[in-house]
Structure 1
Amino acid sequence: MSAPEPAENGAQQLLVVIDPVARRTDGESVRIAKDVLSAGATAKICLPDGPAEFARVLARRGARRPVVIGDDRALLRTVALLHRERDLSAGVLSLVPVGVSVELARSLGVPTGAVAAARAVLDGVVRRLDLLVDDSDGVVLGDLRIPALPSGGGHTGGPGGPSVWHACRSLVRTLVKPVPHLLTGHPQRLRVEADGVVLSDLDEPVEAVTVRSRGGRAEVVVRRHASPEPITASALSVTVSGADFRYRADAAVTGPVRTRTWTLRAGAWGLTLPAETAGRV
């Protein structure tokens, strides 16, 4: 961990990108954060109207350190853009969480109050964090989950059965808001491999697969339908294949896909955190 480097004249050079969702949902917190940052650094304030302009602003940041005022989706969008530029590991990112959902930001150690988060941008230390990258160049900052299919997910809408549309809506609800383990629906036939070692094959239906980074490794948990005890493994690469499946990576639901591989990249990106909490993340 290290402190953010100031510019040659002694003042930090910041590119403050304010997500439009944050401006609409909590303009007062945005104003407070902007004032704190402007008082403590040389800050260029940008107000993009949408994702395309957000990407253009970020690409033109030059030597300025990007600071995002926004929610978890804004953070994920920023990390994904920097990853696609292949410039994620070279710089440092800062976040002031404002918006609809900030659970991911909180789990990473970022303060959720506007003043505390802005002060962490100015005075915090850089924490190098792991990243899961899939074979379609998608990124995962927090948890990756493949749940069981919701009840009715295997029916096609015949007499007495739910429609395909109903099944799809149920699946999305399951992915976005996971239900308790005992209330999940139909298990899936998936092959799960960790560093090439098969943890569960197609003849062993699984109720859930979870992958998260833990200290430079990917922690894999497979819950099988026939056994109360989960299978766990630590790996650098995880591959899931089988019938079409959907998965929830952070706040986004993706799929259906038939196979996907996630590779852990240790210390792939830097985030400024308060000095007193950075060592505990």
Structure 2
Amino acid sequence: MTRHPFDQLAKQLLEQLLTPCGKVEISKEVPGEPRFIDLYFSPEANVTPNQATLGILAAMVQSPGLFEPFRNPPTLEEIESCLLKRLWLVSDLRRRQALSATNAPVLWIIAPTLSQNLLTRLGAVKKENWLEGVYELAPAFQTVVIVVHQLPKTPETLWLRLLGKGSVQQQAVAEVIALPEGDTRRTEALRLLSVWKIIVEANPELPEGEEVTMPLPQAFIEWEQQVEERGKKEGKKEGRKEGRKAEARSLVWRQLSRRFGDIPSSVQNPD
């Protein structure tokens, strides 16, 4: 089972949102290097991203991009590692095709917070005509840093704010819950958040364990109620007589197994 549940949450949420717009590659290997890009996106030529659905993400996927989300504020060394991955990738692409400023991949670093001191050391400046909290490095680097906690709390930033921490993530989760029940984005986001919460709670030794508070329990309760109902119907169809709760839990563990591999029996049955 993964040691970094937030990484899985971030990658899977972005994958769900971006797949309709192009090709998404999770943990793309950097050519010739033992490094992996968290998520690499290649836009489809004839697909226009839906801004109403994706918000600010629609502008971020106009060209190929490397997405590197962080649960905690990245250090200078971690940012340098991201820059190095992009440089290696661009070098490999240039050997195979002509690259220009419009088709070279952009590096998107998504951080919950970042100190002004580090932004200054990076030479980061506010990206022109973009929202607050969006910074760019020198043009040659084609790198954008998004400081999630500085983003305005508007619908267009919702999906990025889900990757924040503390009260910022709290509000984003509440906004997801408030979406219409038939909205597939709501369903998928709640499912991923719930799976993340279960993984962390089942493994208290993980570094993220103390941070999963806020309204995530409410998100889990709402999703679990839906799963319970599905479990009840499935139980009737299969002739089983287990209670609604047992059926719901069974579905939850199956969801986890599909996403994260085999779940130890000691976790499924702690008693």
How high is the TM-score relative to the length of structure 2? 0.27
Q: Quick one: higher RCO (CA 8 Å, sep 6+), 1 or 2? A: 1
The answer to which structure has the higher helix fraction is 2
The answer to which structure has the higher strand fraction is 1
